[in-house]
Amino acid sequence: MAGIQDAAVFAGISERELQSAVTEALGYMGWRTYHTHDSRRSNPGFPDIVAVKGSRLIFLELKSEKGKVKVEQIKWLDDLVRTHSEVYLVRPSTQDAFMRAVSRLGSDVSTHWRNVRQRD
């Protein structure tokens, strides 16, 4: 459980810093990742990172600790979770849990996005 000091640290991590850390860690674990560097010509709301390893396909929407998920992002994440792919909303405070989930080989991880949506 995050304490007050952790909350201050998480609040100071930008989405760009989170993306760099997540992409580096996924690469280290053998995941192939894709990120659209200039999203201005892409469909609005498509997740930040797509990653594949073996038979697993994951979509990640990255947000700073207080970053808002936009309507178009919600639509994409809801549609993608229906494909039975793994779909995650990752924030600095959930990064460790996400890394534990994707490091499990062959596991049937329930999606973080689905869990988030059920609480809304």
Q: Which residue has the higher pLDDT, 109 or 66?
A: 66
- Averaged over 84-101, what is the pLDDT? 90
Beta strands 86-90 and 56-62, pairing class: parallel
In order of start, what are the domains of the chain with their CATH numbers? 4-119 (3.40.1350.10)
Q: What confidence score (pLDDT) does residue 21 get?
A: 93
| Greatest mean pLDDT among 2-6, 11-15, 109-113 | 11-15
pLDDT of residue 112 exceeding 50, the answer is yes
User: pTM of the predicted model, to two decimals?
Assistant: 0.80
Q: How far apart are the first and last CA of the chain?
A: 20
64, 94 Cβ separation under 8 angstroms:
no
pLDDT of residue 110 exceeding 50, the answer is no
